[in-house]
Homo-oligomer: A and B are copies of this chain.
């Protein structure tokens, strides 16, 4: 793979991307802070097509609602020099609707670090893209 489309990388369709998003549970969230990008690893779960994660007051929340964000997951096989990646681009929002909150509480998101995380955020997907590169498995 990586970094630019070459060697006819296999593009993953939206269904396959969503399947991978449903299986994984850690990804990386990119936000724009001022004019510079920032990246944060997050524990997440999928709620429909939305990427849901928990957070305390902090950087991500400080961005407020509707901030543009990108979320990435990947699977890398260094030995075989191949891998796949899925990127979701969309807008962040805090989940405040009681019904949605109750549902996402059941998603089983367990951050690896303890501590209060009273806020539930979700990335509402706009574009979802994925690709697989390197030698075929």
Give residues in A with beta carbon < 8 Å to B: 1-7, 9, 25-26, 28-32, 35-43, 53-56, 58-60, 68-72, 74, 76, 78, 81-83, 85, 87, 89, 110-117, 133-134
Query: Is chain A's binding surface mostly helix, strand, loop or mixed?
Result: strand
Whether A6 contacts B113 by the Cβ 8 Å rule is yes
Least CB distance from A109 to B in Å reads: 10
Of the residues B3, B7, B35, B111, contact of A68 by C-beta under 8 Å: B35
Whether A111 contacts B3 by the Cβ 8 Å rule is yes
Whether B43 contacts A37 by the Cβ 8 Å rule is no
Whether B37 contacts A68 by the Cβ 8 Å rule is yes
List chain B residues, Cβ under 8 A from A76.
26, 41
Least CB distance from A31 to B in Å reads: 6
Whether B35 contacts A32 by the Cβ 8 Å rule is yes
**Could you list some 29 contacts between A and B, CB below 8 A?**
A1-B41, A2-B26, A2-B40, A2-B42, A2-B111, A2-B112, A2-B113, A3-B41, A3-B43, A3-B53, A3-B55, A3-B60, A4-B55, A4-B60, A4-B113, A5-B113, A6-B56, A6-B111, A6-B116, A6-B117, A26-B83, A30-B38, A32-B37, A35-B68, A36-B70, A36-B89, A38-B87, A39-B87, A41-B85
